Amino acid sequence: MALVVQKYGGTSVGSIERIKNVARRVIKTKRQGHQVIVVVSAMAGETDRLLELARQLAPQNRELNERELDVLVASGEQVSIALLAMAIETMGEKACSFLGHQVQVLTDNAHTRARIKKIDSDRIRQALADDRIVVVAGFQGIDERGNITTLGRGGSDTSAVAIAAGLQADVCEIYTDVDGIYTTDPNVCRRARKLARISYDEMLELASQGAKVLQIRSVEFAKKYAIPIHVRSSFSEVEGTLVCKEDKAMEKAIVSGIAYNKNEAKITIHGVPDRPGVAAAIFSAIAERGIVVDMIIQNVSADNSTDLTFTVPKDDFQRSLEIVSGICREIGAENVAGDEHVAKVSIVGIGMRTHANVASRMFAALARENINIQMISTSEIKVSCVVEDKYTELAVRVLHDEFQLDRELAQEEE
């Protein structure tokens, strides 16, 4: 008998028919002799619908009370757990649903993006011992003072992994509307291939560079507690992708995946005075407003001044421009320019650590298609290029071909 955690995303519980489908799958696992904990998201579109209601109360994008936003959006998962628990019971198995606070998913108090600190497994264990299928609301928790918190968009993935870690589950399966992790977005590149396995670090890079299958924090959590995640489809029986610890065989692939992100905008400050404290002034002002800067590039200075370019999420573009323009006057920079028509394309692979010419191959492949590279950044297992957004798809396809990602390596055939 194994302890299995299964997580079903919004599309998998998007209608009563689909909830029944999930109930059948869960029951099947139970009847194979396992204990099952199911973590669910809100029904498809529900979280967006709730946020839209709130937005109507926020003219001129005034900031809303985040504590109340959490109370609002946490309601989506309350609906789906109840429906799933009832669906399971009508099919003849015992179930019990729990909200985050009922099983003490304790988080910090950072509303709308809280982090899980601890999970009290007692109540879940009791229900399991009582032969029940346990259905837990994803995405939500409670802070030390009893306020409802949520974990950020896509947070149910993290709930599932945290529960799997907390209860030392044997398996954590994340069911979604795709059947695994692909070398790149199959909607962009027909030749994208499903990976049998991918390491935590590669998955983290792909997720932070724009791949949307798993919430980044869920992968961080899984890595920290060495929980293998099996990403698979709730609509079929095929094996998905295992996100797990790396091993030697995985290093054979130089590039494992390609991600793209169209949700970035670029800001350049010209003629920044070259003296200590200037970058600190600019980026503290941005950080204070909660804006997360991605790439930063500073030129070598000539005549005691330099240029500074960086990227921010598109949603924060206007606000960032305003903040930076203000700072520019204070520090005596020349001018600020912005460009929203950019995208970031990244290649990711742990094999890069041991291969020398990966970046140059990437640049050459883009050059052959006349795609101009505006910014470059690298990490040990990633190279990212900012390009004009209309070339995004082309860049992804060209790189997929260059690194022959459609070909399976021997290690995966074993």
For the record, the structure tokens of 198 come out as 């991918």
Residue 138 site contact among ligand ASP, Mg ion, none (CB < 5 to 8 Å, cut-off depends on kind): ligand ASP
Residue 154 in contact with ligand ASP, rule: CB under 6 A = yes
The three-state secondary structure class of 213 is coil
For the record, the structure tokens of 73 come out as 């959006």
From 67, 213, 54, select the one nearest 140 (Cα to Cα).
67
Residue 240 site contact among ligand ASP, Mg ion, none (CB < 5 to 8 Å, cut-off depends on kind): none
In whole angstroms, give the CA distance from residue 186 to residue 42.
Answer: 25
Residue 42 site contact among Mg ion, ligand ASP, none (CB < 5 to 8 Å, cut-off depends on kind): ligand ASP
How does DSSP assign 324-344, residue by residue?
HHHHHHHHT--EEEEEEEEEE
Residue 178 in contact with ligand ASP, rule: CB under 6 A = no
CB nearer to ligand ASP: pick between 71 and 394: 71
Asked if 302 contacts 251 with a C-beta cutoff of 8 angstroms, the reply is no
Which runs of E-coded beta strand occur in 250-359? 257-273, 296-298, 305-313, 335-348
**Binding mask 44-63 vs ligand ASP (x if CB under 6 A, - otherwise)?**
---x----------------
Site for ligand ASP in 69-98 (CB under 6 A): 76
CB nearer to ligand ASP: pick between 114 and 333: 114
* Minimum gap (Å) between residue 40 Cβ and ligand ASP: 9
Site for ligand ASP in 322-361 (CB under 6 A): none
CB nearer to Mg ion: pick between 261 and 384: 261
Residue 41 in contact with ligand ASP, rule: CB under 6 A = yes
CB nearer to ligand ASP: pick between 9 and 166: 9
Residue 47 site contact among Mg ion, ligand ASP, none (CB < 5 to 8 Å, cut-off depends on kind): ligand ASP
Residue 20 site contact among ligand ASP, Mg ion, none (CB < 5 to 8 Å, cut-off depends on kind): none
Asked if 7 contacts 174 with a C-beta cutoff of 8 angstroms, the reply is yes
* Minimum gap (Å) between residue 77 Cβ and ligand ASP: 6
**Binding mask 114-143 vs ligand ASP (x if CB under 6 A, - otherwise)?**
------------------------xx----
CB nearer to ligand ASP: pick between 11 and 392: 11
Residue 374 in contact with ligand ASP, rule: CB under 6 A = no
Residue 10 in contact with ligand ASP, rule: CB under 6 A = yes
From 239, 161, 266, select the one nearest 207 (Cα to Cα).
161
> Residue 301 carries which DSSP code?
P
CB proximity list for 373: less than 8 A, separation 6 or greater: 363, 366, 385, 386, 387
* Minimum gap (Å) between residue 322 Cβ and ligand ASP: 28
Give the residues lining the site for Mg ion (CB under 5 A): 9, 154
**182-209: burial string, b at 16+ Cβ within 10 Å, e else:** bbbbeebbeebbbbbbbbbbbbbbbbbb
Residue 107 in contact with ligand ASP, rule: CB under 6 A = no
Q: In Å, how far are 14, 193, 361 from 409, measured between CA atoms?
A: 37, 12, 19
The residues facing 273 across adjacent strands are 305
State the residues that interact with ligand ASP by CB under 6 A.
Answer: 9-10, 41-42, 47, 76, 138-139, 153-157
